[in-house]
Chain A
Amino acid sequence: MIHFVLLISRQGKVRLTKWYSPYTQKERSKVIRELSGVILSRAPKLCNFVEWRGHKVVYKRYASLYFCMCIDDTDNELEVLEMIHHFVEILDRYFGSVCELDLIFNFHKAYYILDELLIAGELQESSKKTVARLIAAQDSLVETAKEEASSLSNIIAQATK
């Protein structure tokens, strides 16, 4: 299973973290520090796998962002690479040629997309289309709610409550 997902920028800034195995806040920061040290220092054109504390970390660099997933030793590294690519494609489709800034400012959306892709450290949805559809449906749900909430009558109603 996937233990965690990290998105780290080339400068070592964390862009997204998702933990599927229990780690305390302290451990989390330590993991991030250790791994970004290991991964960012690797030259391009090396293999995408790093052995780390009995696990394997599969990472791939897209533009200025490193996508890292930590998996068990027995998991299939190539499959995870495909998974990362899958995630990036979905992001790309959703944001329209995604860049690091998209993920910085839509940090929560990136989470929601990841949630549709992975659950409990397992791939749950292998179809890009389905993920896109689900995300769109949820977005529209939020939009309608927002419109309602921000309508003038609503504010008045709230104020005079």
Chain B
Amino acid sequence: MAGSSSSIMDNLFQRTLDDLIKSMRLQLLNESTFISKSIEDIRREIKSTDPQTKSTALQKLTYLSAIHGVDMSWASFHVVEVMSSSLFSHKRIGYHAASISFHDSTPVLLLITNQLRKDLSSTNHFHASLALHCLSTIATLDLSRDLTPDLFNLLSSSRVFIRNKAIAVVLRVFDKYPDAVRVCFKRLVENLESSDPHVVTAVIGVFCELSSKDPRPYLQLAPEFHRILVNSKNNWILIKVLKIFARLAPLEPRLGKKIVEPICEHIRRSGAKSLVFECVRIVITSLSDHESAVKLAVSKIRELLVDQDPNLRYLGLHALSVAAPKHLWAVLENKDAVIKSLDDEDSNIKIESLRLLMAMVSESNVVEISRVLLNYALKSDPEFCNEILGSVLTTCGRNDYEIIVDFDWYVSLLGEMATIPHCQKDEEIENQLIDIGMRVKDARLQLVRVARDLLIDPALLGNVYLHRILCAAAWVAGEYVQLVRNPLELIDALVQPRTNLLPPSIRAVYINSVLKVLSFCLDCYLDQDEGTASSYCCNLAGEQSEMFLVKTHTEAPELVATTREGSNYEQDEGFNPRNTTIESSDDLSDENDTDRVVTLLSMKNFTHESVVSLLNRIELIFSSLTANQDVEVLERARNIFAFVQLVKAEIIDNSGQNVDKKYTQVSAVIKSIRDAFSMELGPVSISAQGRVAVPDGLVLNENLDDLKAICGDIELPSSSSFYTGGPQFGTASDASSSNLLKNDESGPSNESTSLLEHRKRHGLYYLASDKSETVPNDYPPANDPKANSNINDEADALAKLTEQSLLLKKRTNQMKPRPVVVKLDDGDAAPIPDKRPEPINDSLSGAIKDVLGSEANLSVSRSNPLDKSSTKRKGKKKLGTDLPSEMKENLGDAEKPDPENPNPSSKSKERRRRGKEKIVEGEEPEQRGKKKSSHRHGRHKTHQRANSPLNVVSQAPVIPDFLL
């Protein structure tokens, strides 16, 4: 008594959902405490024995869960309780709560099977409706299996709205429990023939979803779909049917002919944009062979593109991008509209038009389009700006710059992009700058110019998004220093004070570039002094500068002729560099193109003073860097510092002395450094390591476990290994000289620390694991200058191996008008092919397909004799829609042994007729399961056991030609 009275009190004073919502709206200040307080109330109320109190509590909880994301999994048992109430109002709350909160792993799902079954078969249709709704969201394998028979009954319910829902639920059930197909598919297909448009809507919706996974099995239903396409006036249905046909048409070429006419009719006649758009889409995707239809569709697209409605403009662009792969002409035809859309206020439209523009890009128009896009990038918001830059970079860089002919132009474009204020595509630009440097010899001159322009501007150093680009520029300038017009200016740029804004890793690259440039300058200076007449083609400049000179000549012979220095150059033999008194270090600004030749000549004219002042400056700058925190910077700075001191001592000492005798020691050092740096770097294949022969006696496999322990906490080098690979390569092969250098400056080494021991033992690992210098953790203490020399031997060996493998891979130089782009024969940073996600064909959908095929057949065949009217209708339709000639053609096809169907269709028809009877009788899913397994067998047995369903299955792959 006490209990029940308290429940009445609960009932009377319980807050309803309305109350909850109202007080929640008043309590604007502290929503979360209010919610947690309400949850407390609900927890208490939901335990009440009074169904009214309980359901109200559950309703409130559902509200909080749906709107405020409150967890309600704890209440799942109460949900089941409320679901089982006999009152519709309570039941509805319970079911609603279930469909919101239950998921596949909710434990109480096991408890509701019987409840669902009871409600599905309830005489109250609204109860059945609730159960169906719930099932459509929470059905699991178990539920699907257990409730399939009930669902089967509802598929032919006299109540249309129940039948509709049952049809929709079938989708989920098939997905969870493919065997349900055997039971329900037939009825599903029957519903296709329903005269009620609502039922047809529902069934077509289901087939539309089913066919999106794997359309093949539904080919046999094509005649049904075709009938609907021709007869239906309902746009909802037509759109779905078109979607189905879009998937079927590519599978069956004859289908296109059948559907193209009604589709064009819809395009012409229909006032519903959604339908027209769907028609356009199917034409451009699946009916591209039908020229007139495509033309019609494209003309529709053009209308969409200029429409007032942004939705239609967007869809127009979208349709164009769908059409682009097959009908590029359609895009080109509408180029103006597309470019205009770049200006649209809607970012979605802008992005869509950007994609289209990218689809249009080809060798011939890449310059023009990139120009347009860069202009847009300059004036658009940061986000879209980067979107533009990103797509330009990806498109141009695709397949090793496939579409680029003029690399000078492209390199300048990269430089221009870098300086666009919003540019954040640093990584991509960085990679391309270096990549082009390595792959395209002819572009290097321009590349160096662009790099110089970037490096020389102190303002750029302040922008973090430019750092990586500057890093690439520094590397390029250092690597191809012989093409630099003015090395001294370059050194100034590389050591300018604002470089301290750079992160250490990039600074290290800068320093390495300084070393390259410096050694180049010194080498030239020494060469000068030695008075070698043929200094222009000295070994340092190597073939690259040779190549470049030739190029310059062919490009601008008249310029060379008219330039004073140029003519000097022509009379090479008599030319004494010392006589040319050009102070190249002061000649910073001249941008003239004729300068190319001039500076090539002048850059080697280093006076003694200029060299000394250069050395002094570098010494000064790097003396401060030798206290840098970063080991990478520190080590490189120290190397340069020591090098400069070494060189300086000798140069200053020897000034004015006998030319022949001086600098012997230093020049050997410089020569070997130059030699190391002048070896050309090429792109490295991803599989390069695999081609390096394993030296005898080296067992890599055994030691790999050690490797884990050693490198456990080392991060794998990122993409940066790309450029750091350059310097490392040089340094490594430079082993002997740096040994020399180190011995010179610090005498015999005595390393005995454990770390050094470690390096000695695992030296190979150190290199192999990173191939770069990006492993600062494992570097020995920065103040131990000898440590490095330890690994030199192994490094040397490895470097040689790498070298060899690089040489082996020297790419096939195609002689094309465009500069040669080095490509590796395989495994290059391969363009990742756009992978179209194939329709997932897992075992599950495979099973569906299997069963669907057979069932489809059986149902079609069955419906013929059973349902007289439908047979007639089909016959009529055949006559109505098929031209006689096509009929003949189809018959002809049927005679031919179809690859998919070894049996002549007449036989299969016969079998079908036999099959039909037994299907009507034998409905048990268990039996069916057995049948399916033996395909071929069944065929023979059919004749004896006319009541075995096997025969039906055997017809699975038949595409009923007569219906097409």
Q: Which residues on A are within 8 Å of B, measured CB to CB? A: 1, 14-17, 19-20, 22, 24-25, 28-29, 32, 43, 45-51, 72, 74, 76-79, 81-82, 104-105, 107-108, 111-112, 115-116, 119-120, 122-127, 130, 134, 137-138, 141-142, 145-146, 149, 155, 158-159, 161
Contact = CB atoms under 8 A, between A and B. Distances in A.
Contacts of B100: 19
A132 to B, nearest CB: 12
A77 B198 contact: no
A120 B166 CA distance: 10
A79 B71 contact: no
A26 B88 CA distance: 31
Interface residues of B, number: 69
Contact of A149 (B52, B71, B281): B52
B8 A159 contact: yes
Contacts of A116: 161
Interface string B1-45: 000110110000000011001100100000000000000000000
A51 B198 contact: no
Contacts of B132: 119
Contacts of B202: 122, 124
What's the dominant secondary structure at chain B's contact region? helix
Contacts of B235: 79
Contacts of A74: 212, 243
A78 B168 contact: no
B234 A78 contact: no
B7 to A, nearest CB: 8
A20 to B, nearest CB: 7
A29 B69 contact: yes
Given A28-B69, A46-B310, A76-B281, 7 more contacts: A14-B67, A107-B63, A115-B133, A122-B202, A141-B88, A142-B89, A158-B50
A51 B63 CA distance: 29
Given A46-B310, A51-B348, A122-B209, A76 B8 contact: no
B169 interface: yes
B345 A46 contact: yes
Max chain B Cβ within 10 angstroms of own Cβ: one of A1, A19, A82, A122: A122
Contacts of B346: 46-47
Contacts of B66: 16-17, 107, 111
Interface stretch (B311-319, B406-414, B530-538, B603-611): B311-319
Given A47-B313, A78-B274, A79-B239, A120 B169 contact: yes
A116 B198 CA distance: 12
Contacts of B63: 107-108
Nearest to A24: B103
Nearest to B88: A141
10 contacts: A107-B63, A119-B132, A123-B205, A124-B164, A124-B201, A126-B234, A126-B236, A130-B198, A141-B88, A142-B92
A76 B69 contact: no
B96 A108 contact: yes
B5 A145 contact: no
A98 to B, nearest CB: 16
Contacts of A112: 92, 96
Nearest to A155: B8
B88 A142 contact: yes
B8 A119 contact: no
B172 interface: yes
B104 interface: yes
B206 interface: yes
Given A24-B103, A81-B311, A145 B164 contact: no
A49 B17 CA distance: 34
Contacts of B171: 120, 122
B50 A47 contact: no
A19 B137 CA distance: 8
Given A119-B136, A123-B205, A49 B348 contact: yes
Given A79-B236, A124-B164, A141-B88, A46 B169 contact: no
B600 to A, nearest CB: 52
Contacts of B62: 108
Contacts of A108: 17, 59, 62-63, 93, 96
B88 A138 contact: yes
B425 interface: no
A32 B67 CA distance: 10
B69 A126 contact: no
Contacts of A51: 348
Interface in B50-80: 50, 52, 59, 62-63, 65-69, 71
B638 to A, nearest CB: 51
A50 B348 contact: yes
A28 B68 CA distance: 11
Contact of B89 (A1, A43, A137, A146): A146
B274 A79 contact: yes
Contacts of B126: 137-138, 141
Contacts of B273: 78
Contacts of B205: 122-124
B25 to A, nearest CB: 8
A127 B315 contact: no
A99 B71 CA distance: 28
B89 A124 contact: no
Contacts of B212: 72, 74
A155 B52 CA distance: 11
B87 interface: yes
